[in-house]
Amino acid sequence: MLLSSTLEALRRKPIFLLWLKECRAAVIALCVHTLFMTLVLGPLVRVVVPKPKAYLGLIRTGHDAYPDVMWWLDLVLWPAGWALVGALAKSRVKPTIERARRESDDLSMAAEQAARQGDIERSILLLSRAEALAPDAPQRADAGRRLRERQGSRTAIQPLANESLTGAVGPGGRIRLVRTLGRGAMGTVHLGEDVVLGRRVAVKELASPLATDPAVRERFLREARALAQISSPYVVQVFDLYREGDRPFLTMELCEGEDLAARLRKKGKLPAAEAARLGAQIAEALAAAHARGVIHRDLKPANILFSGNDIKVADFGLARMGDSAMTQEGAVMGTPSYMAPEQTRGAAVDFRADLYALGCVLFEMLSGRPPYSGTVQEVLLAHASPASTPALDAAAIGAPSALARLVSRLLAKDPSDRPRSAKDVADALRSLALPRQAA
């Protein structure tokens, strides 16, 4: 039973890779043994067993013992070396299983801490790694259960029935809360009415358990600051930030249309001209953000809202501004299906990570699916892999080949191979959209 469970654990790719790391000594021993047997042993034996001497062209001793000696040495030393390497590799199995168990437990604890801080996306990433590294079935099942719970709780804000809500926020109760529009893991969005200016607004409120956490409040404030710095018709406008006791509220422009994710669920994919037009607007929003030193870092269809026929980019909660050190080194933050390779590794990112995410969004608009699918772990590994992202078939999706090439450039694994700026991307997409619109 123990042997079968150990073999089952080693068949799991993350644990197998961990075992290979643990077997460094065995690998080195194998390389040394192979080099010795192929390059050193022959000349060494020839020194010990010299060739028969010849006298006037005649061999005094008629037998060369070298081939016989080499045959016996090969027969003994090759299996002996392999047996030694195998013993070394086998000795690392138990430490590998123990290390995988410890790392899985550590990742699970880090995931719980991230969840308490309201960072559901990071909690999901950590739990997916914990599940992949768990060598025991009960430990793996527990991590998988919590992963599914987190994935269910991170669902984008869902529209609710016209839930009545009484109360007001802001100086003098300026913003009257009319009803709840939706609720997500991080908080609630209300429909509000500015009684002074007579306009409707969206009021974002942090969830009660998170409102007292300094790190979460800082992220909430950062979103407000990021939005306040950006001036673009394609970015949701922020109006003000209020606090009622421990409850922070952010009042923003109200977008009453659906988000891009909902539209793609309905339509599957969009015509090439429409995808290029919307992509140009998204790129314009990113260009305005990048000009102010703001990197979104979580661009995805659920964060792209429709306002009439145009879009507004929202949810800058993970944005990085300038040289902000808010994010810890090595922290993996974002949504797996739209994360740049450097982002999946927890490395420092710049505006080119947003361009990669835009490429993922365009890929989904044109094909009806993100570039990669599968479990969270599989998607992250696919993004991080140096292999090229699957290319769009321009003919199959009815798109200009130039549009397919642009998406491929946006999805380049090396950031230096991506376009120079979001503004360049916006200009290119606009030129691709205009001829089709005219037709």
- Annotated catalytic residues are 298
C-alpha separations of 391 from 299, 365, 406 in Å: 21, 14, 10
Buried/exposed 221-230: b ≥16 CB within 10 Å, e otherwise: ebbbbbbebb
| Angstrom distances, CA of residue 388 to CA of 404, 408, 409 | 14, 9, 10
Six-digit token pair at 260?
């891009």
Three-class SS string for the chain?
A: CHHHHHHHHHCCHHHHHHHHHHCHHHHHHHHHHHHHHHHHHHHHHHHHCCCCCEECCEECCCCCCHHHHHHHHHHHHHHHHHHHHHHHHHHCHHHHHHHHHHHHHHHHHHHHHHHHCCCHHHHHHHHHHHHHHCCCHHHHHHHHHHHHHHHHHCCCCEEEEEEECCCEECHHHCEEEEEEEEECCCEEEEEEEECCCCEEEEEEEECHHHHCCHHHHHHHHHHHHHHHHCCCCCECCEEEEEEECCEEEEEEECCCCCEHHHHHHHHCCCCHHHHHHHHHHHHHHHHHHHHCCEECCCCCHHHEEEECCEEEECCCCCCEECCCCCCCCCCCCCCHHHCCHHHHCCCCCCHHHHHHHHHHHHHHHHHCCCCCCCCHHHHHHHHHCCCCCCCCCHHHHCCCHHHHHHHHHHCCCCHHHCCCCHHHHHHHHHHHHHHHHHC
